[in-house]
Structure 1
Amino acid sequence: MKETILETLKNLNFTEYEAKAYLTLLEDSPLTGYAVAKNSGVPRSKIYEVLENLTIRGDILVSPGNTPQYTPVPAKELIKNRRKKAEENFELAEKSLAEFERSENDRGNIWNIMGRSEILDKVKDCIVSAKKRILLEIWKEEFEELESELRHAAKRGVTVTIITYGKIVSDFANVYHHYMGDKITEEYGGRWIVISGDDSEVVAGIVSLSEDSRAAWTMHVGLVMPITEFVIHDLYLMEIMEKHRELLEESFGKNLVNLRKKFSIHPDFKKHYVK
């Protein structure tokens, strides 16, 4: 009978010595550590380590004093605690595995998002989940709707770096004002948004078409890498223009217009992504 109970306790994550000590205390308590060792057969060199582990886990109680004495948590309470802990572990495992499975699936997919509000909602999700860095290209109109989430991210210790089109003032982010400002809206025929969270998730798309706005969200490395690097290279350009604008415009025209014309396929030298 006793051997069966010892095996049962082992199945509840007791070591052999812990099981013997607990069962001894169930039979007779309170006992000193010396008495537990003597009655259980646990070596005296190990008994206090065993009793400390049981105490920390909440399986036994200890009365302070010159000679501490130990008493067990009642068997019903022990089983109740173990069942509660097991259920918590199962719930945690279920949630964690589901999130892992979803995350792994997301890494291989590219999701289409329709509608300006829906796009901004997904950008907010990206901001909330970021832990290290947010890179963002944005116009003032969209920034105002995302400012609260971005501020909270910065308070969590996330580095927020923004390339803005139009005047944006921020006391929590590194802000780079694009050298063309609002003029670029006219050339491109609309506003876009690009966000990279922790170099592992991106949302990129057009947000100036109301319900017809569209964007892509993905964790696919084949898009995350080039889109993130696109933003980083724009940051390089902002730094270079800040320090050497006069020299660059002498070579390539105001706002580098000659470069933009060189790589345009349209006679009016404007972009025609938005029809």
Structure 2
Amino acid sequence: MEKNSLFTKLQKFGLNQYEAKAYVALLSIGTANAYSISKASGIPRSRIYDILESITNRGIIMFEETSDNIKNYTALPSNVFLERIREEWSSTYNDVEKELKLIEDKDKKEDIYVSTVKGEKNILAFCKNLMHDAKNQIVISIWNHMYAELLPDLQLCIERGCKVSGMTFEVDNPINFLDKHRKSKLHNTIEKKPWFILSVDSKKLLYGHSSELNGNAFYTDDPTHIYLLEDYIFHDIVINRLIKKEDNEHQAVKMISEILNEMKVNLKR
């Protein structure tokens, strides 16, 4: 790992750039005085003393003073330092989580709403969080990219006893309980963009463009939204299974195509 990358990551733990450089330099050279740390880290001598004082006060490094008033510094071992960071982060996370939940529950409005979730990382994180909270069932319609991303979380849900059902697209061997959609020109995506639908316990719903498109998804707890999109998935499963069972699959697909075309013509009138 490049040191610049390491310094950037240490700054996420609450250190500034000079503090990160001082700690890493001291960890690498062992016990040393301010002059040696300044030379090894590249921190200007005019700043090294206040930097060392700052991280000493935080308990990240320790010092001993010699009889001739020279301070020699030693870094906290990395495993001790990291465990401290982990405990501090975990404590802060738990406190913030409780406070935010209280605010969210206190100010909860009864009005039905749909909120937007933007970007690939946020959409995937939202999906995983919903599945983590699932107690009874998950209903899902999903394309290959998101399927690969969320497969471990789906498997954990099944292991916890959640029922999983739904449809997959362009997935070669989906897990049990998920149907594989037949290849069909009738099922072209809107603007050729794959989508997803994730319903959890029939109480929470996230749907939209597949996460790799880095676009928008939409979250709601509106029962009507949830009923309609779950019903869409169940109908898709039923039709898919019926066509597979038909002796003349081509004729079945043709019939569905004619019905859909007739509906589209009627809508345009």
- TM-score in terms of structure 1 length: 0.52
Q: Distance in 2 between matches of 1:261 and 1:208?
A: 30
The residue number in structure 2 matching 1:259 is: 259
Answer yes or no: is 1:154 the counterpart of 2:182: no
**Does the C-alpha gap of structure 1 residues 136 and 99 become closer, same or farther in structure 2, counting only changes over 3 Å?**
farther
Q: Flag as ranges the 4+ runs of structure 1 deviating above 6 A.
A: 94-97
- 1:165 and 1:181 in contact (8 A); partners too: no
The residue number in structure 2 matching 1:191 is: 194
Q: Distance in 1 between matches of 2:142 and 2:208?
A: 11
Number of corresponding residues: 170
- 2:166 and 2:233 in contact (8 A); partners too: no
The residue number in structure 2 matching 1:131 is: 135
- 1:107 and 1:221 in contact (8 A); partners too: no
Q: 1:205 is aligned with what amino acid?
A: G
- 1:191 and 1:208 in contact (8 A); partners too: no
**Does the C-alpha gap of structure 1 residues 210 and 141 become closer, same or farther in structure 2, counting only changes over 3 Å?**
same
- 2:186 and 2:257 in contact (8 A); partners too: no
1:217-237 deviation digits (Å, cap 9, x = unpaired): 111112112112111222222
Q: Distance in 1 between matches of 2:219 and 2:104?
A: 18
**Does the C-alpha gap of structure 1 residues 144 and 112 become closer, same or farther in structure 2, counting only changes over 3 Å?**
same
The residue number in structure 2 matching 1:62 is: none
2:217 pairs with one of 215, 219, 225: 215
Answer yes or no: is 1:232 the counterpart of 2:202: no
How far 1:103 moved relative to its partner?
9.8
The residue number in structure 2 matching 1:202 is: 205
1:45-104 deviation digits (Å, cap 9, x = unpaired): xxxxxxxxxxxxxxxxxxxxxxxxxxxxxxxxxxxxxxxxxxxxxx9xx87983882695
How far 1:194 moved relative to its partner?
0.5
- 2:193 and 2:209 in contact (8 A); partners too: yes
Q: Secondary structure, in 3 states, of the residue corresponding to 1:263?
A: helix
Answer yes or no: is 1:241 the counterpart of 2:243: yes
Q: Distance in 2 between matches of 1:185 and 1:167?
A: 16
Q: Distance in 1 between matches of 2:185 and 2:170?
A: 5
Q: Distance in 2 between matches of 1:103 and 1:182?
A: 47
**Does the C-alpha gap of structure 1 residues 189 and 148 become closer, same or farther in structure 2, counting only changes over 3 Å?**
same
Q: Secondary structure, in 3 states, of the residue corresponding to 2:168?
A: strand
Considering only aligned residues, what root-mean-square deviation do their CA atoms show, in Å?
Answer: 3.4
- 1:107 and 1:219 in contact (8 A); partners too: no
Q: Distance in 1 between matches of 2:254 and 2:184?
A: 16
1:100-150 deviation digits (Å, cap 9, x = unpaired): 826954872211112233222211111111111111111111111001111
Answer yes or no: is 1:144 the counterpart of 2:148: yes
The residue number in structure 2 matching 1:42 is: none
- 2:207 and 2:219 in contact (8 A); partners too: yes
What is the 5 A alignment of 1:1-275?
Answer: 98=102, 101=105, 105=109, 108-171=112-175, 173-180=176-183, 184-185=187-188, 189-207=192-210, 210-211=213-214, 213-243=215-245, 245-247=246-248, 249-250=250-251, 253=254, 256-264=256-264
- TM-score in terms of structure 2 length: 0.53
Q: Percent identity?
A: 16
Segments of 5+ residues of structure 2 without an aligned counterpart are: 1-94
**Does the C-alpha gap of structure 1 residues 217 and 186 become closer, same or farther in structure 2, counting only changes over 3 Å?**
closer
Q: Distance in 2 between matches of 1:174 and 1:103?
A: 38
Q: Distance in 2 between matches of 1:249 and 1:170?
A: 24
Q: Distance in 1 between matches of 2:230 and 2:185?
A: 23
**Does the C-alpha gap of structure 1 residues 209 and 145 become closer, same or farther in structure 2, counting only changes over 3 Å?**
closer
How far 1:184 moved relative to its partner?
3.5
How far 1:215 moved relative to its partner?
1.4
The residue number in structure 1 matching 2:23 is: none
Segments of 5+ residues of structure 1 without an aligned counterpart are: 1-90, 266-275
1:244-269 deviation digits (Å, cap 9, x = unpaired): x3456425518x3323333346xxxx
The residue number in structure 2 matching 1:86 is: none
Q: Distance in 2 between matches of 1:227 and 1:240?
A: 20
